[in-house]
Every structure is written in structure tokens, then in C-alpha cells.
A and B are shown apart, each in its own frame.
Chain A
Amino acid sequence: MPQFQMRSTVERLDKPSSYAMSKYKKRRRPSGDDANRAPSPDLEEKLRDASTLYVGNLSFYTTEEQIHALFSKAGELKRLVMGLDRFSKTPCGFCFVEYYTHEDALDCLKYIGGTKLDERIIRCDLDEGFSEGRQYGRGKSGGQVRDEYREEFDPGRGGFGKKFREDEQAYGNEYGPGQ
């Protein structure tokens, strides 16, 4: 019988989020019968030495300098990659922050994830590491997918979602460009 094990009496914040876990599981689980497959490496195992974080829910207007000012409170930054709109190459509300050590990345998760930057609650997740191409939004219109269909107005993230914006623009164009 396996012995009862307990790592800590309260949950830890320096683990991959449930969002990352669920995404990972989905990706790892092929549609067919996977009963015979060798168990895929644990996400936690994979991120054991990760020193990069994905940072989400940023305002489009938040600058690298602001991100630097906050995130360097958890350790010196090695690299900061802004997430950009695929087409316009302007910030689209996320970034990758890379520290020199895994410990600093964990400190960031514990102490900075879920606090405010530029008056928005930001989201941090451990990341496997930045690779070229990942800095671009994967949404249809170039930004992040989550901003495509958003119905609430978010002034920090380009107002309404894409569909709403299109409607608005079509409406405005009837009157021609203003003065």
C-alpha cells in the first residue's frame, strides 16, 4: 500500500496553473485509444528547471520598462519578449519574461503572479521557454485568441473584441474621415 505523502499543508502557487495543466493534457491526449502508450512526461517534470514565464492579461499600453520595473523585484531579468500582434507588430497584451534561474521564476509566480501591473491583475505561468514565433498572437486578426470574441469593453486591450470593432468601424466609415 502506498504510503501517505504530503508535500505541504497548503497548496503551492509555484506550480503550473490548472489552465496550463489542462491545455497540456489536451495536447498530450491523442484522440485514439492511448491505453498502450507510455506515460507522457509529467508537465511538472518538464518545467522542473524552467526559468521563463508567460505573462498574460497585460494592457496593450504597458511598456517593457513597466514590466521590467515590476518583474525585476523577483530577480534580474535575462530577457523580456513582448507579445505582438502578428500583423501590426504592436503589443497585444502578453509577454515572456526570462530569469537567470529557476528559483527566480518560482519567486515571481509566488509573489508577482496575480498582482497588478498598470492597474490590471496579471497572470503568470511557468513556460517551457521562448522560441521564435511564439511572440505573435495566434488570433485571426493578429492579436490573442481571447481578444477575438470578447464582448465586454476592455479599454486596455483594444476595446471590444474584433467582431464588435469591425461593426463599429463600418458604422463610422459611412460618415467619412472626420476633421
Chain B
Amino acid sequence: MADVDTRRDYGGGGGFRQNGGGGRAYGGNKRKRGREDDDTEQGRPDRRPRHSEAPPGTRLRRALLEIGDDPLRLPQEVAQNAAKLATENYEDEYVRDTFCTVALKLAVEQPFKIPMIAGVIQYANTDNSEVAKDIISKAASQLQEYLDRGQWRELKLVLRLIACLSPLYEEDGVLPVLDELFNRAVDLQTASQEDAVGLELVKIILLTIPYLLAANGDAALQQAASELLARTDIIASAQNPLEPLVDPYPDANAPDEKPMACASVISLLQRQLQDEESNGWPLKCIPRVYDSSFKQANTNGDAPEETNSDEEAKVTPKHPFPTITVPSTVNPGPKALFPEIYFSLYADQEIESVPPTSSISACLLRDAILDTINILDFNRNATARFLNDIDCYWAPDTFVKRSTAFDKLRDMPAGKSTWKPEDVAIDAIFSQIFQLPTPEHRLVYYHSLITESCKISPGAIAPSLGRAIRFLFRGVDSMDMELAFRFMDWFGHHLSNFEFRWKWAEWIPELDLSALSPKKAFIIGTLEKEIQLSFAKRVRDTLPADYHPLIPPSKENEIPEFKYNDDTTPYAKEGREVLQMLRKKAAEDDIQTVLNAVQQQALAHGTPDPLVPSTDIYLTSILSIGSKSLSHVLSTIDRCKERLLAVGAQSEPARRQIITSVVNFWSDHLGTAVNIIDKLLNYTIVTPMSVIQWMLQDRMDRGRALASLLAYELVSITMFKVTNRVRQVLRERNNMALPYEQRQQIDEALPRERQGMRDLFAAIEDAVAGVAAGAQDEMVERYEDGDQEAEMVKMWGQKWLRVWRRKAAVEEAVVGELVIGPLEEPVVLPEVVAEVEAEDDMDQVA
């Protein structure tokens, strides 16, 4: 259902039942839609009877939006019908508006449909050249805007539409534009080895060429494309120095041990296109929608039949190629770019269920799917529907029939496609979950997209997912650690949406592995994630008995024991006293008296820092009172924050004791411990550095801790908070709506914030580098399992090192001195700034 403004006095057109984006009703909310109809049609005495035909603008909009959605209709026929609606009513301003707006909006929102939209324009052009003329000029001006603003994806898509219209130009101008873009890419690459904008430009060039040549088979054009292709090779085939940073499988010992090839997208595109070139550019998967000889077999009765001779006499009107100026220095765009790796779970395996990485179809399909996914994040149901219907939008016979079982692919006759539409779609979604450094949207979007896909077609998707999960699990040892945690997070979340059903029995042999093996760590972490979204007993009931030791009965205990109830705990009496006093909201001085007594005793026992045991008592009491729920603990912390802040300021060991107390109290529910520490960071009761050092020094356990979910999550939430803040400060510094003076102050504060962040990254590096080098003090001798365990700990050190070095590099690419440039001075009239608003904003930063 398109989101359109239908306010137009058109005899009730507003009440039209929009059923776009597939021609099906999503969610079956017919009742509600009925009511909306009533609302819009209220008080319109002149309204059209319900069953009369909608006005042409409305019909045209629907025809365009639904184009290609119906697998039972030929795209040629659908395109011709839409073209006819446009040409026959083109004198109507509303129709003209609708046509251009919808066609261009579709190009940048539903890239699958670009060849079909181009088909409509070509059909329309034979009857009314105005249609093509208007859209070419509008497309060109949009393209120019995108180009000037560095909006690369939109640029690519509009350029694709323009390329698909190639036969309509007096002289093709697409290749000269591509040439210009290539020159800029060369400039950028020459200026910096690490440049990724130039790579993006080359990718756009390489992805435009196939659509251009599929639309226009002109030999001279092919020749020119080949020449361009020869030039792009130097950039496309070279490895960018940043590539190893975004490698999903960096821990493989040798390239051929990787679960997949992990080549860069542009290097693949280059080779695939060279291959197409040598085969005479078949470009098989791109649908050819325009066919000048196509006649509708079932012409509607209401359309006057034209004679064949009339049709043939028509000459395609040609149009001048629009002016497009590639700026001499391109705007790098709003997002920091990184090289892209082609991630595929299914490609190049024994059975070809997706296009092999040698085929141009692999990159063309992937590119269009990813754009669809990332553009339409605002409606995952519609996106899942498009992915489910993917075979409608590509050339016939690109895929096998939907829901064909994987085992049946073997039996396909030679020459027939064995590409499963489900695999191709799922593969693309996973490539986003496993995209480094980060995908475009929050990971949970891709999670829910998989969930919706499963809901639409459970029988077809579930087996594909099963193969994906097994593939990922097999390769988890050499997978980048951050990605392994993303895999865990997705898997736990996914299972929580599907009754926790998984064939756990097949991983029973892995349970014998050391807890330090990535596979075992994955299993343990996944169960933890499942429990966080559900509860221990529920999860245990879904598992074979062999797994039960991983979920001890203590995990079922939602409210942990208060350790001072046990008289063998040191300071038990005082602990209970403090708990009671806090419960009764006793006076601070009274509490202090008890804590003083504890400190006295501690001193007498020779405890190095007497604040440590008293802090343990105080915090454990807070946690016990707050154990009922997160809100309870937060309100108790809030009540006690003054003392907690004072304790931390007074003694670093006491501050770390706060963390110890939280983690010990919630040792069976570490997710809760992490949440509480997250809040303590917000209160600045604990500092980022204290969390990092607590985890990576105090609790390092000679490196073993690096395999734990706790370590990864604690360090991650801490570093996210810090890096996010630095980014926020930078945004405010560059916020031209703020008074210049204020921005100057922020600019002065920025280096301090950034240095704080760098110190933390350095602390992580220091702590894990030793483990990675195997240089932890007398490490080897201390391991019971000897060499093997030492090797595994070393491997975790290397994994950590790689992840946090990458994260540090990514932050430098966003907030480093070199990239942010000098503080931009205000251009005009600094008085015209809304000061109240500005102060509000500052509060958030300070």
C-alpha cells in the first residue's frame, strides 16, 4: 500500500482501495481500511458509485506500483497497459505528475522494477514522445542532485533507469558520464590509498554497464563499454588496504581454509563483466521488458484495435541525452564508506543453489536485493514480500520454481537454472548481518526481516535457514569475533520467535569441546541469549538432556540469595543490618556507623582497602532490595547514588568492587549484571576505564575470560557509550544551528573526549595484545591442558585484538582530526540563531 497524498477533488478518487505493493492485502486489515474509506468519503455528495472505474491518474498510479508483482501476467503486457494509461491521458496535469513522481520514486525505492519502468516509458514513447521527454529531464535533474550531494545509492538507481532508456537517446550519453565518474575515482584513489569513495564510484560504473548493454545491443556501445571496462580493472582488481579490516573470516590460517572466498564486490564485478564480455554480453538475468514487436494477444475490448501496419510504421522518437555535470571534486556523501566484501553462505558449493561468484547474476541480484532491503526498512512486511516474490522481477527461468527442495536441485536437467529464490534472498539478508564494520540499519531489522520471510513461506525458508545456520556454525572458529557474537545474538532472537525449535541434537558432540572453543562458546552464548528473552526452565525444556548441565538449576532462581544471610560470609551480621536499614530507609548517618564498623574490622584484619568490604555490603544490599526488577534496582541506586559516587571517587579498588558485587550477585543472570553496570556508567558511579580494567585485568583469568559473553558485552556496552558520545559531541560541533561561540567551546572539548576514547582503546589493546602474543606471564605452564589450551587462549587474544583495532580505526575514520577538518565558521548573520533551542541541545552534550 503506497503512502500517498490522495487529497484531490476527483470525484471520490481518495476513497480508492489502495492495494499496491503486490496487489495483495497485507495483514488482512480489511475492516480498518473499510472504515478509512468511509472517513474520506464522508460529506461528498458527488462521490462516484463504488463500482465505477477509478480516474486515470489513480489507475496509472496503481498500474505502476504493481508493475511486475503479478507472476501470471506478462511484464510486456503490464508495461504496455500502463504506458497506454499514461499516453491516453497525458493532457491531464495530474496524470503527468503521477507518472513522473511514481516512476522516479519506484526507481529509488523498488529497484527490482527499474527495467519494467523503463519498459513502460519506452512503450509510451512510441505513442507520445512527451512522456519520455518529461521523465528523462526529471530523472536527469534528480540525478544531478544526488550526484552533488554524494547520495551514491540513489545516484546509482536513477542512473540505472537512465541507462535502461538508452535506445531512446539520439546519442547515448551514459558511457561519457561513467567515464567522468571513473576519472573522479582515479583522482580519489591517487590522493589516498585507503579511499573508499572511488571504490563506490567504480562499483556504480560496473553495475550500470550491464543494464545499459541489456537495454541497447548496439555494437559501438559494447565496444565503448569494453574500453571502459579495461580501464576500471586497475582499481577494481587491486586490494584496498582497508579490506582486511572488514574480512568476515580473518582467523583462517590460509585463504583456502576460509569458509568462503571473501573477495571484494568490485573485484568480482570486474571479473564477471569481463566474462560476460567474452561471451558477447548475454546478461541473462536482466528482464527485457520492451519489445517493439510485442502485440497484446488479449487486447481489451474497450481499447480500439490498431492495425498492424500502423504500428509498424511508427518510428521510435529520439531524445537528446540530458546534461549531467560530474563535479570536479565529488562530495563524499554523508556516510563513511568502507570496502565491501561479497558474503555468501551458499555460493560456489557442490550444488549451485545461488549464482556462483563467477556469474554477473550474483552481483546484479545481490545489489538489487540489498538496495530493496536497505531502502524499505520502514516496512519489513512489504520487503519480505518482495523477497518472496523475487522471481517475478528477473528474466524468466532465472530461478527454479519457488519452494523447490534443495535435494531436488540435483535432478534438474542440465542447462536449467538451479538457483533457489529463497536461498538468494536469505543469502542477501545474512550478508547484512555479517557486514563489517556495520550494516546500514540496526541488526534487529535484519532479524525481523528473516522472521517475516519465515512467516510468509515457512516450508520454503526454514530448510534454507537450517543450511545457513549449519554453514555458519561450521565456520565459527575462523569467523571474526564480532560477527560470531552477531550470529549468536541473531540465532537466540530468531529461535525466541519460533518456539525455540532447533535440532540441538546434532551439536551434542560439540558439547565435549573445551569452553574455550569458539563452537562451544557459541552454544553457551546462544542459550544465554535465549534465556534473556525467555526464562531458564523454558529454554531447558527445549534441549536434549546433554545440554542440561549448561543451564544449572540455580539459573531458575529469579531472585539471587543475599550472601550475608549465610553466617559463614564475613561481615554477615553487618550485611544484614545494612540491608534492613536500607529497606527501612534509615538515616544515612546510621548506615555510616555500621559501615565504619566494618571498615574498622577490615583494617584490623589487614585488608588493604577497608572501603572494599563495606562497599560490597552496601552494594549487595542495594542489589538485593532491587532484585525484584530492573526498576526496583534503578530506584534504589538512585536513592543511594551520592554515597556510591563518593566511594568511587575515594578509592579505585572500591569502585571496582561495585562492579564485582554486581557481577557476583547476578552471576546466574549475567545479562542483568551487564544492564545494571550500563546504568551505573550513566550515573558515572563507575567509569569506562574501571569497567575495562576490571574485566580485562582483574577478571582476565589469564586470558580465559576473553571467550566469555560477559567480557564481550561489558566491553562493548562501555565502548559504545564512549564512542557514541564522541560522535555526538562532533555532531554538535558541526551543528550550524548552534551559536558559533558555543560550537567553539564544544570544539575545544572535543580533543579531550577523543583522547579519553583513545585511552580506552589503548587499554583494551594493552590487555589483549599480551594474550594474543602468548606472552601472558608464565601462561603456558599454568594451563592444565597445556599447549592446546594455551593456543586457544592465544587465539581469543588475537580475535579481540582484531575486533578492537578495527573499532578504533572506524572511530578514527569518523571523529579523527584528519577527517573532521577545521571548525567551519558561520556563513551569514550569526544573530539569527534560536538560542533557547541551542541551550537545550547543549544540555544533552554536557
Residues of A at the B interface (CB closer than 8 Å) are 1-14, 18, 22, 25, 63-66, 68-70, 73-76, 80-82, 107, 110-112, 115-119
Q: Hey, which chain B residues are within 8 Å of A75, CB to CB?
A: 442
B5 touches which of A6, A69, A76 (Cβ 8 Å)? A6
| CB within 8 Å for A110 and B380 given contacts A11-B1, A66-B532, A68-B675 | yes
Report the nearest B residue to A18, measured CB to CB: B32
Query: Are B5 and A22 within 8 A (Cβ)?
Result: no
B382 near A: Cβ within 8 Å?
Answer: yes
Segment of B94-102, B204-212, B749-757 engaged in the interface with chain A: B94-102
26 contacts between A and B (CB under 8 A): A4-B97, A4-B98, A4-B101, A6-B2, A6-B3, A6-B101, A7-B3, A8-B2, A8-B3, A8-B105, A9-B21, A9-B110, A10-B21, A10-B379, A12-B3, A22-B32, A63-B629, A65-B629, A80-B630, A111-B380, A112-B444, A112-B448, A115-B448, A118-B533, A118-B534, A119-B534
Report the nearest B residue to A11, measured CB to CB: B1
Q: Hey, which chain A residues are within 8 Å of B3, CB to CB?
A: 6-12
Query: Are B631 and A9 within 8 A (Cβ)?
Result: no
Chain A nearest CB: distance from B379 CB in Å?
5
Report the nearest A residue to B32, measured CB to CB: A18
Counting chain B CB atoms within 10 Å of each CB, which of A11, A12, A18, A82 scores highest? A11
| CB within 8 Å for A2 and B382 given contacts A9-B65, A65-B669 | no
A111 touches which of B7, B39, B102, B445 (Cβ 8 Å)? B445
B109 near A: Cβ within 8 Å?
Answer: yes
Chain B nearest CB: distance from A98 CB in Å?
12
Report the nearest A residue to B671, measured CB to CB: A69
Query: Are B442 and A73 within 8 A (Cβ)?
Result: yes
Report the nearest A residue to B529, measured CB to CB: A69
Chain B nearest CB: distance from A111 CB in Å?
5
Segment of B75-83, B265-273, B491-499, B797-805 engaged in the interface with chain A: B491-499
B768 near A: Cβ within 8 Å?
Answer: no
Query: Are B496 and A116 within 8 A (Cβ)?
Result: yes
B29 near A: Cβ within 8 Å?
Answer: yes
Query: Are A9 and B20 within 8 A (Cβ)?
Result: yes
Chain B nearest CB: distance from A118 CB in Å?
6
Q: Hey, which chain A residues are within 8 Å of B448, CB to CB?
A: 111-112, 115
Interface residues of B in 28-49 (CB under 8 A from A): 29, 32, 35-36, 39
A5 touches which of B4, B380, B499, B631 (Cβ 8 Å)? B4
B381 near A: Cβ within 8 Å?
Answer: yes
Q: Hey, which chain B residues are within 8 Å of A3, CB to CB?
A: 97
Per-position contact with A for B631-652: 1 when CB-CB < 8 Å, else 0? Answer: 1000000000000000000000
Query: Are B5 and A5 within 8 A (Cβ)?
Result: yes
Q: Hey, which chain A residues are within 8 Å of B382, CB to CB?
A: 10-11
Query: Are A1 and B94 within 8 A (Cβ)?
Result: yes
Query: Are A9 and B380 within 8 A (Cβ)?
Result: no
A64 touches which of B65, B377, B451, B629 (Cβ 8 Å)? B629
Q: Hey, which chain B residues are within 8 Å of A82, CB to CB?
A: 629, 631
Number of residue pairs across A and B with beta carbons under 8 Å?
146
Query: Are A70 and B533 within 8 A (Cβ)?
Result: yes
Q: How far is the CA of A13 from the CA of B94 in the complex (A)?
A: 28
B664 near A: Cβ within 8 Å?
Answer: no
Report the nearest A residue to B497, measured CB to CB: A116
Q: Hey, which chain B residues are within 8 Å of A9, CB to CB?
A: 2-3, 20-21, 65, 102, 105-106, 109-110
Q: How far is the CA of A65 from the CA of B676 in the complex (A)?
A: 11
Q: Hey, which chain A residues are within 8 Å of B378, CB to CB?
A: 8, 10, 12-14, 110
Q: How far is the CA of A119 from the CA of B534 in the complex (A)?
A: 8
Q: A5-B5, A74-B444, A107-B445 are in contact. List 16 more A-B contacts (CB 8 A).
A: A1-B8, A1-B94, A7-B4, A8-B2, A9-B2, A10-B2, A10-B20, A10-B376, A10-B378, A18-B29, A63-B535, A74-B442, A111-B447, A117-B533, A118-B534, A119-B496
B57 near A: Cβ within 8 Å?
Answer: yes
Report the nearest B residue to A21, measured CB to CB: B36
Q: How far is the CA of A11 from the CA of B451 in the complex (A)?
A: 19
Chain B nearest CB: distance from A107 CB in Å?
6
Interface residues of B in 366-418 (CB under 8 A from A): 376-382
B443 near A: Cβ within 8 Å?
Answer: yes
Q: How far is the CA of A76 from the CA of B720 in the complex (A)?
A: 11
Q: How far is the CA of A68 from the CA of B4 in the complex (A)?
A: 35
Report the nearest B residue to A104, measured CB to CB: B442
Q: Hey, which chain B residues are within 8 Å of A8, CB to CB?
A: 2-3, 105, 109, 378
Q: Hey, which chain B residues are within 8 Å of A7, CB to CB?
A: 3-5
Q: Hey, which chain A residues are within 8 Å of B441, CB to CB?
A: 107, 111
Chain A nearest CB: distance from B504 CB in Å?
18
Chain B nearest CB: distance from A63 CB in Å?
7
B93 near A: Cβ within 8 Å?
Answer: yes
Q: How far is the CA of A112 from the CA of B452 in the complex (A)?
A: 11
B222 near A: Cβ within 8 Å?
Answer: no
Q: How far is the CA of A8 from the CA of B7 in the complex (A)?
A: 16
B708 near A: Cβ within 8 Å?
Answer: no
* Closest 5 pairs between A and B when the two form their complex, measured CB to CB: A73-B444, A5-B5, A10-B382, A4-B97, A69-B532
Q: Hey, which chain A residues are within 8 Å of B102, CB to CB?
A: 6, 9
Report the nearest A residue to B498, measured CB to CB: A116
Q: Hey, which chain B residues are within 8 Å of A107, CB to CB?
A: 441-442, 444-445
B672 near A: Cβ within 8 Å?
Answer: yes
Q: Hey, which chain A residues are within 8 Å of B2, CB to CB?
A: 6, 8-11
